Amino acid sequence: MAGFVGCDETIERLYFYLDGELTEVRRQEIALHLDLCGPCVGAYGFESELRKVIANRCRDRVPDALVARVADALREEHGRQGG
Ligand SMILES: [Zn+2]
């Protein structure tokens, strides 16, 4: 069964969610969290857009360094909104 996951976990799993690399249960957990948590929906939208841009530009895996930087930025943004 899907359970409620925290913001940190959601953001960490966002990449896998977008890549379709999660199991059905994991995806449900993320979807449930996105339903209930406004700031994470914003992070999801941002990440989604970023993926599109990157996919259009190089059709390759996102460099780890970029992923790490985006994750840091999202966490910072998220913290500021009090999530
Ligand atoms: Zn959240």
- DSSP alpha helices (H): ranges in the chain? 7-19, 24-36, 38-58, 64-80
- Measured in Å, residue 38 CA sits from the centre of ligand 1 at 7
Sign of CA pseudo-dihedral 51, 57, 60, 64: negative
- Measured in Å, residue 13 CA sits from the centre of ligand 1 at 12
**pTM above threshold 0.85:** no
Q: What is the mean pLDDT of residues 33-42?
A: 89
- Measured in Å, residue 56 CA sits from the centre of ligand 1 at 28
The pLDDT of residue 61 is 63
Asked whether the predicted pLDDT for residue 1 surpasses 60, the reply is no
